[in-house]
């Protein structure tokens, strides 16, 4: 047998082994959008000049033992909610974080078209009847205190990931990922203590002393990812991005197909939540540029990078 045919035979055998391994361990076939193709009707990786200038696959969404936050990124982050702790204290706290929680690995995918529902909390979800469509996606990412009880027809029942920060925290069941968006070093301290000995203290508002969560399913967002969202996706509009918008960008990094619900004002132009009666008719989006964020979502939808359901 010639050398050329030996090489061809070796490559065929190697390909067969890889296919068997990928079938037995789906996580080997999935990275954070590191594939150049997917089986979705519309792929995020399809070439689009506007999208290419915004999406940076090299930015690590989650803190891990391999990630190193630069001093420059730390100084940007510590000013979001003013944190007196220095860089050394931050590094010590992150070390403690990974003594409590395992360092995250790339999440597994059931196939080449992993679909996500990103469920915001807008009052425009009332009467939308999106529940079955939301639950039909592989991952359902909800945020803060957005519950499902009593609103199942409109928002669904399934939750695979719950996004929060200490001031918006709620318990999660044993099968749900807890995704923490930290806005200061104290937030990282909080998740360590709230899941172990109990957190005693407060921030700008009271926070839960204890929280129920599966320690193997806790993920902490990288402050550098938050800065990337603010500067690249939002062009520094607003003081910093809303949790909802950062969650949307996160979904773009971990899913091949993204369905977006519950963003924007309600039909009367109020920035309300679907589960509560709006008392403050002048409620707006605080330090976040809600209107600019909404326009970026519209841009993503127009370019067929996300499927956006506007509600009612």
> What would the pLDDT profile of 9-32 be if each residue is shown by its tens digit?
544 444 444 443 333 333 222 334
Task: Provide the pLDDT confidence category of residue 243 given band limits of 50, 70 and 90.
Answer: very high
- Rounded Cα distance, 41 and 229, in Å: 26
Residue 264 annotated in ligand binding: yes
User: What is the extent of the structural domain holding 273?
Assistant: 33-62+109-180+217-309
Number of domains in the chain: 1
What is the edge-to-edge ordering of all strands in the sheet holding 307-309?
Answer: 218-220, 177-180, 161-164, 139-143, 115-119, 257-261, 307-309
The mean-pLDDT minimum among 108-122, 123-137, 214-228, 269-283 falls in 269-283
Provide the token pair at 82.
């003013």
Q: Which residues are catalytic?
A: 240, 288
Question: Is the residue at 100 inside a domain?
Answer: no
Question: Is the residue at 128 inside a domain?
Answer: yes
Instruction: Please tell me whether residue 88 adopts helix, strand or coil conformation.
Output: helix
Share of the chain above pLDDT 70, in %: 81
Question: Is the residue at 224 inside a domain?
Answer: yes
Question: Is the residue at 7 inside a domain?
Answer: no
Residue 288 annotated in ligand binding: yes
Residue 81 annotated in ligand binding: yes
Question: Is the residue at 43 inside a domain?
Answer: yes
pLDDT, tens digit, 9 for 90 and up, residues 122-175: 999 999 999 999 999 999 999 999 999 999 999 999 999 999 999 999 999 999
pLDDT at residue 282 above 70?
no
pLDDT, tens digit, 9 for 90 and up, residues 175-209: 999 999 999 999 999 999 999 999 998 788 889 99
Question: Is the residue at 88 inside a domain?
Answer: no
State which H helix or E strand residue 10 sits in: helix 3-24
Question: Is the residue at 196 inside a domain?
Answer: no
Question: Is the residue at 73 inside a domain?
Answer: no
Residue 121 annotated in ligand binding: yes
CATH code for the domain of 156: 3.90.1480.20
For residue 231, what is the DSSP state?
Answer: I
CA proximity to 119, closest of 88, 150, 148? 148
How many residues does the structure list for the chain?
A: 312
């Amino acid at each position: 047998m010639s050398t050329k045919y030996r090489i061809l035979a070796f490559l065929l055998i190697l390909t067969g082994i890889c296919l068997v391994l990928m079938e037995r361990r789906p996580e080997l076939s999935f990275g954070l959008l590191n594939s150049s193709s997917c089986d979705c009707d519309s792929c995020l990786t399809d070439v689009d000049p506007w999208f290419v200038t915004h999406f940076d696959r090299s930015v690590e969404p989650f803190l891990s033992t391999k990630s190193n936050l630069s001093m420059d990124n730390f100084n940007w982050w510590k000013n979001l909610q003013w944190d007196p702790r220095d860089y050394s204290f931050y590094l010590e706290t992150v070390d403690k974080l990974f003594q409590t929680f395992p360092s995250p690995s790339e999440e597994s995918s059931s196939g080449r078209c992993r679909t996500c529902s990103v469920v915001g909390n807008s009052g425009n979800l009332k009467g939308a009847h999106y529940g079955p469509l939301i639950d039909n996606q592989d991952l359902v990412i909800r945020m803060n205190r957005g519950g499902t009880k009593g609103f199942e027809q409109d928002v669904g029942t399934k939750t695979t990931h719950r996004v929060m920060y200490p001031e918006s925290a709620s318990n999660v069941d044993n099968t749900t990922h807890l995704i923490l968006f930290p806005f200061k070093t104290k937030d990282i301290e909080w998740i360590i203590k709230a899941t172990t000995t109990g957190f005693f203290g407060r921030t700008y508002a009271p926070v839960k002393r204890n929280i129920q969560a599966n320690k193997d399913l806790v993920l902490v967002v990288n402050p550098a990812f938050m800065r990337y969202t603010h500067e690249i996706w939002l062009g520094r509009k607003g003081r910093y991005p809303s949790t909802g918008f950062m969650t949307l960008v996160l979904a773009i990094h971990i899913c091949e197909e993204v369905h977006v619900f519950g963003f924007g004002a309600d039909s009367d132009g109020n920035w309300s939540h679907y589960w509560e009666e709006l008392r403050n008719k002048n409620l707006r989006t605080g330090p976040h540029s809600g209107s600019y964020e909404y326009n970026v979502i519209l841009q993503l939808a127009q370019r067929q990078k996300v499927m956006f359901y506007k509600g009612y």
